[in-house]
Amino acid sequence: MAVRGCSATKNFDISAIFTRDGTLKPVKSVLSVIKLKNTRCRGSYKGRRLSIMKNLLKQLIATAPTEENGELNTANVLADYFKAHGIDAETDCWDEKRANVVAKVGSDDINAPTLVFGVHLDVVPASADTWETNPFEPVEKDGYMYGRGSVDMQGGICAAAAALVEIANSDVPPNGRVIFAAAAGEETDSCGVRRFVEQYKDKIVNPIGTVIPEPTGMEILRAHRGILWLKIQTAGKTAHGSMPHLGINAIEKMNALLNRLKDFQIPHTPHDLLGGCSMSLNRIIGGSATNIVPESCAIELDIRTLPGQSHEEIINSLKAVCDELHAEDSEFNANISIIRAVGALEAEENDSFIQSVCQATGIIETKAAGFTTDGPYFAKLNAPVIIFGPGDGSQCHKPNEHLELDQLGIAKEYYKSIISAMLT
Ligand SMILES: [Zn+2]
């Protein structure tokens, strides 16, 4: 990258990226790292810092880290970015294409006060025919970056990574430790964060808190509901469709359960920020042909839970409904299994970490998120978690997802303030 009127150093160059089909493709535009020595360039220095973040964002989008592709290429781009700026970063790869990245700034002492930035590398898939542009070819237009993951959450990755780089290269290094944990699989099974917490919980002896730069429009969120996705399957006995009396119709058995679930309420006390617990029947699968009595029928329930609610108690209350039906009809048999379970998240408003973040950013009000995150797993590090990042959360998982680029610089400055307030 040519920088007119300033002395600049290009520190590294990524000459190729992996495309969605796994082949290597040359990249003409490379990420250039600029170290300015001329203070007269300070005005445009800010612009170039934004340009570095934008280039990183474009590279991350182009790696298309869907569940199908995995996160390894994305992890390599991010680890290279950190290493190019003199920051220690390690890629942890498993199952050939799954990967986490962990970068560290500051003290090497595991007892040092430690602030964690927790991000996810993966994105949800995008169907090209619902987009106006190719979702994995980033397009910058009118101050926005279009591309799958621009908002959820590669923008947040870029802002937090850039904050770490600037803190690491500042005159006042942190008096403690910042760990940047980029995890795989948040959109599916949280496999990456579970692996990170398992590896690091004994190496973070003195945790201060975790910041999750998911898109919140730079509002500080300190709570969200948990998820409990359940499958309930009724068992029947197959028979020829012309002789139904010889079989047990699993769909009819499911119908009995559905009638009972109409009035079913999960006991709970509404939460100040989060409101109530909810349950939605979102999927039904049953039968194989018009002339075969179905031997199986399944429903899938999306339950959103509140802090303190026990998943086990919810499952037991549904089992009790099934047991009642079995008592009334011995041919009613159902099995409940968990598809996915993530706990709810909550940090108290008067918690010292929350208060310190509010002071460092000048943002007084804290709110709750309508979505879930890897936060409950990061909370297993035994410190509070906040969600605070660039981008409009309503863009997540939608066609033509786009990030307002001005938010990158704003987020980066907030993160630097938080790190400085906690660790200097
Ligand atoms: Zn996300």
Cα–ligand 1 centroid distance for 393 (angstroms): 9
Please count the structural domains in the chain.
2
Distance 378 CA to ligand 1 centre (A): 14
Domain termination residue (choose one: 342, 363, 397): 342
Q: What is the CATH number of the domain that holds 311?
A: 3.30.70.360
- What's the CA-to-centroid distance between 134 and ligand 1, angstroms? 20
**Ligand 1 ion local residues (Cβ < 5 A):** 152-153, 214
Which pLDDT value is given to residue 22?
A: 38
On whether residue 263 sits in a domain, the answer given is yes
Distance 179 CA to ligand 1 centre (A): 19
Residue 4 resides in a domain:
no
With tokens 């006060």, the residue in question is 113
CB 215 within 8 Å of CB 207: no
Tokens of 349: 């408003």
Distance from C-alpha of 123 to C-alpha of 243, rounded to nearest angstrom: 49
- Report yes or no on 204 lying in a domain: yes
Give yes or no for a contact between 179 and 103, defined as CB atoms under 8 angstroms apart: yes
CA-based torsion, 363, 366, 370, 371: positive or negative: positive
pLDDT band at 47 (very low <50, low <70, confident <90, very high): confident
**158 C-alpha to ligand 1 centroid (Å):** 14
Q: What is the pLDDT of residue 49?
A: 85
3 in any annotated domain:
no
Does residue 10 lie within any of the structural domains? no
Quick one: 250 and 359 in the same domain? no
pTM: 0.82
Indicate whether 61 and 152 sit together in one domain. yes
- Does residue 131 sit in the same domain as residue 33? yes
Tokens read off for 285 = 């699968």
Distance from the alpha carbon of residue 104 to the mean position of ligand 1, in angstroms: 22
Q: 223 near 307, Cβ under 8 Å?
A: yes
CATH number for the domain including 100?
A: 3.40.630.10
Determine the structural domain holding residue 355 and report its residue range: 16-224+348-423
- Looking at residue 43, its pLDDT comes to 54
The string of DSSP codes covering 239-282 is -BTT-GGGSB-HHHHHHHHHHHHTT-------BTTTB--EEEEE
Percent of the chain with pLDDT over 70: 89
Same domain, yes or no: 252 and 190: no
Ligand 1 centroid–CA 217 distance in Å is 13
Look at residue 48 in the predicted model and tell me its pLDDT: 82
Tokens, residue 214: 């998911």
**Does residue 218 sit within a domain?**
yes
Residue 109 lies in a domain: yes
Q: Are residues 21 and 148 in the same domain?
A: yes
Please state the φ and ψ torsions of residue 256, each to the nearest 5 degrees: -60, -40
| Per-residue model confidence as pLDDT tens digits over 378-413 | 999 999 999 999 999 999 999 999 999 999 999 999
Instruction: Please give the distance, rounded to the nearest whole angstrom, from the Cα atom of residue 201 to the centre of ligand 1.
Output: 22
| Distance between CA atoms of residues 154 and 59, nearest Å | 10
Ligand 1 centroid – CA 124 distance (Å): 9
- Is residue 229 within 8 A of residue 339, CB to CB? The reply is yes
Same domain, 332 and 358: no
The stretch 360-389 carries a mean pLDDT of 96
Distances in Å between the alpha carbon of 347 and those of 222, 232, 247, 367? 5, 33, 53, 11
Query: Does residue 19 surpass a pLDDT of 60?
Result: no
Q: Which of 116, 232, 209, 222 is nearest to 164 (CA)?
A: 116
Domain co-membership, 241 together with 207:
no
Q: For residue range 283-336, list pLDDT tens digits in order.
A: 999 999 999 999 999 999 999 999 999 999 999 999 999 999 999 999 999 999
Examine the domain organization and report whether 81 and 27 are in the same domain. Answer: yes
Residue 37 reports pLDDT greater than 70: no
Same domain, yes or no, for 284 and 263? yes
Residues 103 and 244 both lie in one domain: no
CA of 193 to the centre of ligand 1 (A): 13
User: Do 218 and 338 share a domain, yes or no?
Assistant: no
Q: Residue 229 burial (CB < 10 Å; 0-12/13-18/19+)?
A: middle
**pLDDT of 357 strictly over 80:** yes
Token readout for 293 is 């009595």
Question: Does the pLDDT value for residue 5 go beyond 70?
Answer: no
Q: Is residue 5, in this structure, part of any structural domain at all? A: no
Rounded Cα distance between 376 and 205, Å, is 18
Specify whether 167 is located in the same domain as 238: no
With a cut of 70, say whether residue 42 has pLDDT above it: no
Last residue within a domain, chosen from 276, 311, 342: 342
312, 342, 372 - which closes a domain: 342
